[in-house]
Structure 1
């Protein structure tokens, strides 16, 4: 029996989006940042996700903790912006309640009349947190395995790319897209469109593009070929990409892509590593959240390779933006209900099966 893709209505229905919100995203691990985004006491990252507000902060003791970014008095947001430093206290801008960096209630202004208040019961509410290869993940309800368990098939090959001194390259970028989050994820794990819609990647990889699916992680990869590209950006990247002592063999010239269920991806290159997160907003709106990290390396050819990498991937991003809009428009048409998945589309098949596991209405896609 031919395996079918997820039906179109799942990419447009607000009611189904609400089911995903409650059954998939409550238990899903979300990446907040890297440990080196918050190196000093009081450094924080704020992250909003489907109505939840996360505050991840470095304590005076050096520990990193994640809390709900909500004051226990009247629910005001505590920390503003995406990142910053709050000093040695987190102070609510509404009524000046303050909290220590470990989440404990520090002070309530005495003139407010809260005599005898139980400070032990009114500390910041913690959020479950896991640190994996230096990246900080949170989730809002238990259910899935740990990040380490889910990523286990690829930890050994990822570890050399994630040293303790990995540094953020710039700041988090937010890119709104008028499509369903699954549309972006499907495109990320789709290999059949590479030779059709990404001429640059095809020139770089030749026929080396590969794909495989583990229970919780999809992996795609391509090896940078030696034949000089006809495009000057790609050709210079091929020529300037240096040797890195932390990598062995084909990893010196391999681009790897990993997508962790359901909406977090890592683009892993010899010269840098990026995370991409498909933040669902509604049934037809998503924000792509991304940032790059690099090893300290002062070589001029490394700096040039990273710039060229950025140029190449901005073009790929522009091509993908057009593709996912085309698909979203088709999902809203009465002319499409579902389509067959080919034998090589193992990632899309695995995604449909996991959707069916969490939401029974999706079961028809996994038959």
Structure 2
């Protein structure tokens, strides 16, 4: 990992005030300092079929991905008013926009005239309007139908009734969430947003974005970020040495999980109320139900959004957020090295590859359950949470 570039005291760019951790972040940091590890007692198991059974996967989709609020992308993907980006990986034709007032929206990417896809591609587009390529029906970025050619040929048509179909969404802490359900409750997204605001995520710059295709079950990818047992082994040649003899603490925010890891010799005497100082010695990780992982490093943040396609296939979109746009070649090179280390190395070549190898092994039938030690309790807790949602629906 590269040396951090954050100042001794991180400041909020908008208020000029020092960034401070939330109470929850402070509690986890103190637990690390006090050596209060979150370990389970005894060996536990999870049935292998929960990773290999297509029917079980379909049940998870219905209970989780078709019902719960979930992260789509960081706010930094659309940093300015007048931007839009298509998003298809959830299985729905979505369109994320930021209107001229700066408010984010999530629509179905479907023209209300004849159902044509409104915006093509996957790149962010800058425009004050959305124009259908078929008949040029034109929409505002807030979804309102603005104009249509030959309006006289649609007698009695009320434009107010032909706005884009909007899905419930929420922007909090530098993340844009959406929900497939009309009665969505985003209160936990807003609560977690306080944590992410402490990392200054809503004022970050999106440095890089990449989608990985992983031939593995989505939970095998989540599992890698729910335990630290593998870090010194799988990541021995990358980030493993930075976590040697680390102490891990964790808690939950509703169904979402939050963890912190640090070394006792490094945290002694550190002022944890100084966010920059805290981030230099404590590495936080967030596992958001259903399938988002957020890992803040000392000077940047990785947001990974998992989008399951099948029981053995997952798309992972990785976003790297940095404090500000690189102003020099030296700064750009620094961030490029960080991006190459994590996205291409630690995540792409190690964590995601391990998930693929695990899928291959479980599909063979050689084991009928995975075995979890006391350092892997987060995986069991996550499995239990998923099962609770499945029972609630079925």
Separation in 2 of the partners of 1:184 and 1:82? 24
Q: Report what 2:219 is aligned to.
A: 182
Deviation string, structure 1 residues 206-253 (Cα, Å, up to 9, x no partner): 2115142414222344448999xxxxxxxxxxxxxxxxx973433224
Alignment of 1:279-294 (within 5 A): 279-294=307-322
Indicate which of 327, 345, 352 corresponds to 1:315: 345
Higher RCO (Cα < 8 Å, 6 or more apart): 2
Asked if the contact 1:5–1:348 (Cα under 8 Å) also holds between the matched residues in 2, the reply is no
Deviation string, structure 1 residues 115-168 (Cα, Å, up to 9, x no partner): 21232222101111111112211111157742x52574x655543312553111
RMSD: 3.1
Deviation string, structure 1 residues 292-326 (Cα, Å, up to 9, x no partner): 11112758886565344334323222122331122
TM-score, normalising length from structure 1? 0.82
Q: Report what 1:295 is aligned to.
A: 323
Separation in 2 of the partners of 1:167 and 1:173? 15
Alignment of 1:44-123 (within 5 A): 44-85=84-125, 87-110=127-150, 113-123=153-163
Asked if the contact 2:250–2:260 (Cα under 8 Å) also holds between the matched residues in 1, the reply is no
Asked if the contact 2:96–2:105 (Cα under 8 Å) also holds between the matched residues in 1, the reply is yes
Q: Report what 2:363 is aligned to.
A: 332
Asked if the contact 2:247–2:261 (Cα under 8 Å) also holds between the matched residues in 1, the reply is yes
Alignment of 1:223-262 (within 5 A): 223=262, 247-262=275-290
Separation in 2 of the partners of 1:151 and 1:348? 25
* 10-19 or 136-145, larger mean C-alpha shift: 136-145
Separation in 2 of the partners of 1:213 and 1:347? 10
Offset of 1:196 from its aligned partner?
Answer: 2.3
Indicate which of 28, 39, 42 corresponds to 2:82: 42
Separation in 2 of the partners of 1:4 and 1:361? 24
Separation in 2 of the partners of 1:164 and 1:278? 21
3-state SS, counterpart of residue 370 of structure 2: coil
Distance 1:294 1:192, change over 3 A: same
Separation in 2 of the partners of 1:328 and 1:209? 29
Alignment of 1:269-288 (within 5 A): 269-288=297-316
Gaps of 5+ in 2: 1-40, 267-272
Asked if the contact 1:105–1:120 (Cα under 8 Å) also holds between the matched residues in 2, the reply is yes
Distance 1:98 1:144, change over 3 A: closer
3-state SS, counterpart of residue 189 of structure 1: coil
What is the aligned length?
343
3-state SS, counterpart of residue 267 of structure 1: strand
